[in-house]
């Protein structure tokens, strides 16, 4: 079977039904299209990147398990859940001639993705929906879910990967690689912080999203209420700290993953405070004292980890993250390192914000950070 989305999309529709397929989103891993049929509901078609996900059938098994849980007991999510749609014939996916897995998911009508957070309410909503997601999926026993991406968010593993590709010749070729490696070197001892706490039994596994960046959070059309999280391939057992760190590194960096100048990157404390307040209002009571103690570490670690991943991919020749030009992954790494540095510079304030955002905190009355709204700029998307 050919690799064009048109011939695959037809297999998810009644025979002969017409449709239109157009590229959707800006994901760095899978290829995604929005399919608009003549009569059937619209759906999202994706070709799963087999280099990243060698076992797509595990993803499908997890999606089915989670979907059943949401349908059975979580009405607030059920209305907007991106259900897996089976092809006309066969199991959960259509397999192409190259062994590629194509799957279809329900498209959530009346939703949109925010290009950036423009109001405090949106920030609180981002945190709230992530907290509600953790609370809802936290009811599933981790043992029931497959590991769709072994080693995902295992920071020491990414560091070992970076070490393996950091050859002298590659470092010598570009002084900004040397600088980036020095940045990582100065933080080498910090990298295993969460994995060590996990191994020592201080942090426990829960069902997490894995990739709750702003582009994976669906809002209603008005941009007022967060409806759900999408991109569920990495939903699997992990630490909530991965998700909190990932959500904040994405949302609190107002200039995004590819700004004009990496040095202009900032971590916005007011956004962080609003997101944490929303998150902890839903999930605060679920967190243990040890969980809470490690929140700052998670916030600091995830941008550092993503920077290490981008840098390693640059040195390996851009084999993992999609790029349009050589040097893009190095540039992305520099942005994440600047973000991590900004978090470090604000450690004391961040720790205060975390404490004040916890439910029942006496400090939770007055906002600690000054909120600066951002004008407009809300992109309409899937």
If the CB atoms of residues 77 and 242 are measured against ligand GN1, the closer one turns out to be: 242
| H helix count then E strand count, the chain | 14, 11
If the CB atoms of residues 28 and 142 are measured against ligand GN1, the closer one turns out to be: 28
CB of 320 to Mg ion, least distance (A): 12
Judged by CB under 5 A, the stretch of 146-154, 231-239, 278-286, 305-313 that binds Mg ion is 231-239
Separation between Cα atoms, residue 23 and residue 35, nearest integer Å? 9
Q: Which does 125 bind (CB under 5 to 8 A by kind): Mg ion, ligand GN1, none?
A: none
Host H or E run for residue 315: helix 295-316
Residue that is written with structure tokens 């570009």 in the block:
174
CB of 140 to Mg ion, least distance (A): 20
Q: Is 351 exposed, middle or buried (0-12, 13-18, 19+ CB in 10 A)?
A: middle
Separation between Cα atoms, residue 264 and residue 266, nearest integer Å? 6
What's CA 240's distance to the chain center, in Å?
Answer: 12
If the CB atoms of residues 120 and 257 are measured against ligand GN1, the closer one turns out to be: 257
Where do contacts with ligand GN1 occur on this chain (CB under 6 A)?
27-29, 52, 211, 213, 231, 234, 257, 306
Q: Which does 120 bind (CB under 5 to 8 A by kind): Mg ion, ligand GN1, none?
A: none
If the CB atoms of residues 252 and 358 are measured against ligand GN1, the closer one turns out to be: 252
If the CB atoms of residues 123 and 306 are measured against ligand GN1, the closer one turns out to be: 306
Judged by CB under 5 A, the stretch of 57-65, 108-116, 152-160, 226-234 that binds Mg ion is 226-234
List alpha helices for 31-78, DSSP H: 56-73, 75-78
Separation between Cα atoms, residue 294 and residue 276, nearest integer Å? 14
Question: Which residue's beta carbon is nearest to the bound ligand GN1?
Answer: 29
CB of 26 to ligand GN1, least distance (A): 7
Separation between Cα atoms, residue 20 and residue 363, nearest integer Å? 53
CB of 105 to ligand GN1, least distance (A): 14
CB of 200 to ligand GN1, least distance (A): 25
Please spell the DSSP secondary structure of 228-246, one letter per residue: EE---TT-EEE-HHHHHHH
Among 92, 120, 125, 231, binds Mg ion (CB under 5 A): 231
CB of 233 to ligand GN1, least distance (A): 7
Q: Which does 28 bind (CB under 5 to 8 A by kind): Mg ion, ligand GN1, none?
A: ligand GN1
Whether the CB-CB separation of 311 and 334 falls below 8 Å is answered with no
Q: Which does 291 bind (CB under 5 to 8 A by kind): Mg ion, ligand GN1, none?
A: none
Q: Which does 257 bind (CB under 5 to 8 A by kind): ligand GN1, Mg ion, none?
A: ligand GN1
Whether the CB-CB separation of 137 and 207 falls below 8 Å is answered with yes
Whether the CB-CB separation of 112 and 118 falls below 8 Å is answered with no
Judged by CB under 5 A, the stretch of 5-13, 229-237, 264-272, 340-348 that binds Mg ion is 229-237
Separation between Cα atoms, residue 96 and residue 238, nearest integer Å? 31
If the CB atoms of residues 228 and 281 are measured against ligand GN1, the closer one turns out to be: 228
Separation between Cα atoms, residue 179 and residue 23, nearest integer Å? 37
CB of 362 to Mg ion, least distance (A): 38
Host H or E run for residue 330: helix 328-345
If the CB atoms of residues 211 and 282 are measured against ligand GN1, the closer one turns out to be: 211
If the CB atoms of residues 321 and 371 are measured against ligand GN1, the closer one turns out to be: 321
Among 92, 125, 211, 318, binds Mg ion (CB under 5 A): 211
CB burial of 171-197 (b: ≥16 within 10 Å; e: otherwise) equals eeeeeebeebbebbeebeeebbbbbeb
Question: Which residue's beta carbon is nearest to the bound Mg ion?
Answer: 211
CB of 30 to ligand GN1, least distance (A): 6
CB of 71 to ligand GN1, least distance (A): 24
How much helix, strand and coil, in percent to the nearest 5, is found in the chain? 45, 10, 40
If the CB atoms of residues 46 and 281 are measured against ligand GN1, the closer one turns out to be: 46
Q: Give the residues lining the site for Mg ion (CB under 5 A).
A: 211, 231
């Amino acid at each position: 079977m050919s690799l064009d989305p048109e011939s695959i999309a037809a297999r998810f529709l009644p025979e002969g039904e017409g449709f239109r397929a157009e590229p959707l989103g800006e994901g760095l891993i899978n290829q995604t299209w929005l399919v608009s049929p003549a009569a059937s509901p619209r759906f999202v078609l994706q070709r799963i990147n087999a280099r990243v996900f060698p076992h797509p059938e595990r993803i499908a098994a997890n999606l089915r398990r989670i979907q059943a849980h949401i349908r059975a007991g979580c009405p607030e999510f059920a209305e907007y859940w991106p259900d897996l749609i089976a092809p006309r014939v066969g199991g959960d996916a259509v397999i192409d001639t190259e062994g590629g897995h194509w799957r279809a998911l329900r498209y959530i009508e009346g939703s949109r993705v925010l290009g950036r957070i423009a109001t405090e309410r949106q920030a609180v909503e981002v945190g709230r929906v992530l907290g509600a997601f953790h609370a809802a999926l936290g009811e599933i026993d981790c043992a029931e879910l497959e590991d769709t991406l072994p080693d995902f968010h295992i920071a020491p593993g990414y560091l070992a990967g970076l070490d393996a590709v950091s050859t002298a010749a590659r470092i010598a070729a570009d002084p900004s690689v040397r600088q980036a490696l020095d940045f990582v070197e100065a933080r080498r001892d910090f990298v295993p912080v969460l994995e060590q706490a996990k191994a020592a039994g201080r942090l426990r596994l829960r069902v997490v999203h894995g990739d709750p960046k702003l582009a994976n959070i669906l809002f209603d059309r008005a941009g007022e209420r967060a409806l759900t999280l999408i991109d569920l391939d990495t939903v699997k057992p992990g630490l909530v700290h991965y998700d909190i760190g990932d959500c904040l590194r994405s949302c609190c960096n107002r200039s995004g993953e590819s700004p004009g100048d990496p040095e202009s990157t900032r971590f916005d404390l007011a956004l962080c405070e609003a997101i944490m307040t929303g998150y902890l209002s839903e999930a605060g009571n679920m967190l243990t004292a040890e969980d809470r103690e490690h929140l700052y570490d998670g916030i600091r670690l995830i941008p550092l980890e993503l920077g290490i991943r981008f840098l390693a991919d640059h040195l390996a020749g851009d084999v993992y993250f999609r790029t349009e030009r050589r040097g893009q992954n190095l540039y992305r790494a520099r942005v994440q390192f600047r973000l991590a540095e900004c978090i470090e510079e604000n450690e004391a304030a961040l720790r205060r914000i975390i404490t004040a955002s916890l439910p029942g905190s006496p400090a939770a009355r007055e906002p600690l950070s000054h909120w600066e709204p951002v004008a407009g700029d809300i992109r309409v998307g899937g």
